[in-house]
Chains A and B, each alone.
Chain A
Amino acid sequence: MTDPVFGPAPAQDTDPELVQLLTPEGERVHHPTFDLDFSADQVRAFYRDMVLVRRLDIEATALQRHGELGLWAQLLGQEAAQIGAGRALRPQDFVFPTYREHGVAWCRGVDPVRLLALFRGVDQGSWDPAEHNFGLYTIVIGAQTLHATGYAMGVQRDGAVGTGDPDRDTAVVAHFGDGASSQGDVNEAFVFAASYNAPVVFFCQNNQWAISEPFERQSRIPLYRRAQGFGFPGVRVDGNDVLATYAVTRAALQRARDGQGPTLIEAYTYRMGAHTTTDDPTRYRLTDDVERWKLKDPIARVEAYLRRNGLADDGFVEQVAADADELGERMRRECHALPDPSLHDVFDAVHAEQTAELAAQQASYDAHVASFEEVTA
C-alpha cells in the first residue's frame, strides 16, 4: 500500500529473513555473516542440552498435572533458541530472564528443582543471581529489560567493556517475548540502551503467541526491524536452529563486550505447548499450524545432522535418553521433598534492615499460631 503523500507502508511480516545454519531437514547450510565452524562435540552437547531441557519441561508439566505444581510455563519448541543463547554466554555475562527461560537457566547451572520450587509456590526464586549470573524470573512482562539495561550501564561504569580482556569484558542479555515487545518498558529499555550505547543484547523469542494473541496483534513489521528505529542493529534468526542461534548470539554478545552497543535478536520460533498449564490453545489456533511447526523441530534436525554425518550413533542417542530419564526421576523425587516455607520467615525477607512495625506483626503472628498449640496441647 502506497500513500500518495507519505509513500509506502513498511512491508508486513510475510517473508521472514532468517539466519539459518541448519535446515529443518538437518542439512548444514552456510551464511555469509554468521557462519561458524562447529566441532562434533559441540553439536552433540547442544543435542544433549536440548533433549534434557525438553525432558525437564515435560516432567514439570506432568508434575503440574499431578497437582505438585501450581503452574508451569512450558518452553516446548523453544529449546534451540534458549540453548543457543545460553551456551553463547561467557561466565561473566549476566542474564535477565522472563519466566520461561528454563533452558537458559540450565546453561547457567541453575538446578531445575529450583524452578519447580517457584512454580510449586515454595518461594519466588531461590537461586543466587550473583552466583549464576542469572537474575530471578520476572513475571511482569518486559520489566527486566530495563534492569538488564541498567546493569549494563553499571558494567560500563566498572570499565568492563572494550578492554580487550576476554575474561573481563561483560555483556548483559535481556530476554523477552513477542508480547512484551509492545510494553513501554521494553521500548524504554531500547531508548536507554541506545542512548548510552550499553552492552546489552535484547533477545526476543518470538514464539508467535502471547497467550491467545497472534504476533500480528503486536507488530505490523518484523520485530527485528524495530531496532533500526531506535538506532541499533537487529537480526532475525531461526530460533529452532541451535547453531544459528548460538552463532548470532555469540556475535551480538561480543559486539556488546567490545563496546559497540546493543543488538536486538529476534529468535523466530513457535510455542508448541500452551502459554502455561492453565491455557487451552485449541480455543485460538489451528492444529495445522502446530503440525507445520512440528516439521521444524529443533531437536530432530540436530539428530538428523549428527546421524547423517556419522557424528552420533544409537549408543549416544540412547545414553542421552537415559540421562533424561535420570533427570526426570530426580526432579520428581526432589519436587515431592521440597519443604513448605514458613510464614514466620517471610517477615524477615521484606527489608535488609528489619522495622519495628514488621517485627511486631511477626510476633503477633507467632502468638496467634502459639495460641492454637496451647489449645491442642
Chain B
Amino acid sequence: MSITTMSLAKALNAGLRRSMEDDEKVVVMGEDVGTLGGVFRITDGLKKDFGDDRVIDTPLAESGIVGTAVGLAMRGYRPVVEIQFDGFVYPAYDQIVCQVAKLHFRSQGRIRIPMVIRIPFGGGIGAVEHHSESPEAQFVHTPGLKVVACSNPADAYAMIQQAIRSDDPVVFLEPKRLYHSTKADVDTDADPAPLWQSRVVRPGSDATLVAYGPTVSTCLDAAPVAAEEGRSLEVIDLRTLSPLDLVPVIESVRRTGRLVVVHEAHLTLGLGAEIAARVTEECFHALEAPVLRVGGYDTPYPPARIEEAWLPDLDRVLDAVDRTFGF
C-alpha cells in the first residue's frame, strides 16, 4: 500500500505520469501542456521527464488538436488530448462527433481510436464566458463515444489511467472547481473499481441523490444536513455517463422510492432527463414521488458575479429533497 495525500489536480498528474511510464505510446497534447504544464498544471513536469515528442504543445486550434490525434491513434499511439476549457471544445466538435466517434464503426472495428479527450468542466471559479460550461450531454448523445467524470482524487488517479488503457475514445471530464480545493488520500497501489461502474458514496435509506463531477461534493454536503432533519440520503456518484451504469441507482430507488438527480448542466435534455426516464421505466411501482432534477437553468452560463445563484447549491438540493417528500 502506498498512500499519498493529493489534490485532484495532482492525482491526475500522477495518473498521467504513471500511464506514460507504463506505455510509451501514450502521448499528451494540447495548448500549453508542455513547458507551462497546462493552465491548471495538470501536465506539470511531464515534458521535462518525457520530452516534447510525448508532451506536445500544439498550435491553438482545437479541431487541429483532435484531428491530428486521430492520425496519431491510427499510427498506433494513444493520444491524451487536453481541451483547455469546456467552452473551447466546440471548434473540435466535428472531429469528435464525425470522426473520433465513428471511425471504429465506419471501419467495422479495423480502426481503433484509443484517445482520451480531457475537458476541465463546470463552473464556480469566477471565470469569464466559455470557461464554466458542462457540455457532457452532447457527447453522451453521440454513439461511439464513452464519457466519464471524476469527482475525487482517488478516482481521478485511477480513472485517467483506465481511460487511457481503453481502446475506445473517452471524453474525460474533470471538475475544475475541485482541482486544487479537494485533497484526499490516494492509494497508488490499490486495485481500482471498474471504470464503467457507478458507486454508492454514502449509503442512506430515505431518498437517493445521483450526481457526478462537481455536484457529488454538493450532495455529500447535503446528506448530513438532511440527516439533522431525520432524512437519510443515499448519494451515488455516477462516474460513467456513457455507458450509463444505473444498476446501483435502480437498486437504491427500489429501496428509497425517491430520486433527485443533480448536475450543473442545463436542465433540459440533460443527463437528469435520461436518468428520470430510465428509472421511471425500471422502478415505476417503487417510486413514491416523481424523479426530480436540479440543474443549471436553461440560460447561457451567467457572468461570474451571479454564478453561485445559477449553480445547483446545497439549498437547491435540499429544496428538491423536501419536494420529493411532499408527494
Q: Which residue of A lies closest to B57 (CB)?
A: A195
Q: Which residue of A lies closest to B24 (CB)?
A: A157
A351-B104, A357-B244 known; A146 and B63 CB under 8 Å?
A: yes
B110 touches A352 (CB 8 A): no
B67 touches A143 (CB 8 A): yes
Chain A residues contacting B53 (CB-CB under 8 Å) are: 156-157
* Residue of B66, B67, B94 most packed against chain A (CB within 10 A): B67
Q: Does A192 contact B (CB under 8 A)?
A: yes
Dominant secondary structure of chain A at its interface with chain B: helix
A293-321 interface code vs B (CB 8 A; 1 in, 0 out):
00000000000000000000000000000
B72 touches A143 (CB 8 A): no
Q: Which residue of A lies closest to B102 (CB)?
A: A124
A188 touches B108 (CB 8 A): no
A146 touches B95 (CB 8 A): yes
Stretch in contact with the other chain, from A125-133, A247-255, A274-282: A125-133
Stretch in contact with the other chain, from B10-18, B73-81, B171-179, B259-267: B73-81
A124-B106, A146-B95 known; A151 and B72 CB under 8 Å?
A: yes
Q: Does A59 contact B (CB under 8 A)?
A: no
Chain B residues contacting A184 (CB-CB under 8 Å) are: 61, 63, 91
Chain B residues contacting A356 (CB-CB under 8 Å) are: 196, 243, 245
Q: Which residue of B lies closest to A128 (CB)?
A: B110
Q: Does A353 contact B (CB under 8 A)?
A: yes
Interface residues of B in 238-263 (CB under 8 A from A): 243-245
Partner of A125, one of B63, B107, B244: B107
Interface size, chain A (Cβ < 8 Å): 46
Distance A141 CA – B107 CA, assembled complex (angstroms): 18
* Residue of A125, A135, A145, A188 most packed against chain B (CB within 10 A): A188
Partner of B105, one of A130, A349, A353: A349
Q: Which residue of A lies closest to B77 (CB)?
A: A154
Q: Which residue of A lies closest to B101 (CB)?
A: A350
Interface residues of B in 96-151 (CB under 8 A from A): 98-99, 103-112, 114, 143-144, 146
Q: Which residue of B lies closest to A96 (CB)?
A: B71
A198 smallest CB distance to B (angstroms): 9
Chain A residues contacting B103 (CB-CB under 8 Å) are: 136
A362 smallest CB distance to B (angstroms): 13
Chain A residues contacting B280 (CB-CB under 8 Å) are: none
Distance A202 CA – B27 CA, assembled complex (angstroms): 25
Distance A189 CA – B64 CA, assembled complex (angstroms): 6
Q: Does A149 contact B (CB under 8 A)?
A: yes
Q: Does A152 contact B (CB under 8 A)?
A: yes
Interface residues of A in 129-179 (CB under 8 A from B): 129-130, 135-136, 138, 140, 143, 145-158, 172
A352 touches B109 (CB 8 A): yes
Distance A158 CA – B103 CA, assembled complex (angstroms): 23
Q: Does A323 contact B (CB under 8 A)?
A: no
Distance A172 CA – B144 CA, assembled complex (angstroms): 27
A157-B27, A350-B143, A352-B168 known; A143 and B71 CB under 8 Å?
A: no
Q: Does A191 contact B (CB under 8 A)?
A: yes
A192 touches B64 (CB 8 A): yes
Partner of B68, one of A123, A150, A346, A351: A150
Chain A residues contacting B70 (CB-CB under 8 Å) are: 146-147, 150
Q: Does B188 contact A (CB under 8 A)?
A: no
Distance A185 CA – B71 CA, assembled complex (angstroms): 13
Distance A275 CA – B39 CA, assembled complex (angstroms): 46
A350-B105, A351-B168, A357-B244 known; A143 and B110 CB under 8 Å?
A: no
Q: Does A42 contact B (CB under 8 A)?
A: no
A147-B70, A195-B59 known; A351 and B75 CB under 8 Å?
A: no
B179-200 interface code vs A (CB 8 A; 1 in, 0 out):
0000000000000000010000
Q: Does B321 contact A (CB under 8 A)?
A: no
B196 touches A355 (CB 8 A): yes
A136 touches B106 (CB 8 A): yes
Chain B residues contacting A152 (CB-CB under 8 Å) are: 71
A161 smallest CB distance to B (angstroms): 12
Q: Does B23 contact A (CB under 8 A)?
A: no
Chain A residues contacting B59 (CB-CB under 8 Å) are: 188, 191-192, 195
Partner of A352, one of B76, B99, B106, B112: B112
Q: Does B221 contact A (CB under 8 A)?
A: no
Q: Does B324 contact A (CB under 8 A)?
A: no
Chain B residues contacting A358 (CB-CB under 8 Å) are: 243
Q: Which residue of B lies closest to A188 (CB)?
A: B64
A335 smallest CB distance to B (angstroms): 19
Chain B residues contacting A189 (CB-CB under 8 Å) are: 64, 67-68
Known: A188-B61, A191-B61. 9 other contacts (CB 8 A): A146-B71, A146-B95, A147-B70, A147-B74, A157-B53, A157-B75, A188-B67, A349-B109, A352-B168
Report A's interface with B, CB cutoff 8 A. Answer: 96, 123-126, 128-130, 135-136, 138, 140, 143, 145-158, 172, 184-185, 188-189, 191-192, 195, 346, 348-353, 355-358
Lowest 10 CB-CB distances: which A-B pairs, in order?
A150-B71, A146-B67, A154-B75, A150-B68, A188-B64, A151-B71, A352-B167, A355-B243, A147-B71, A124-B106
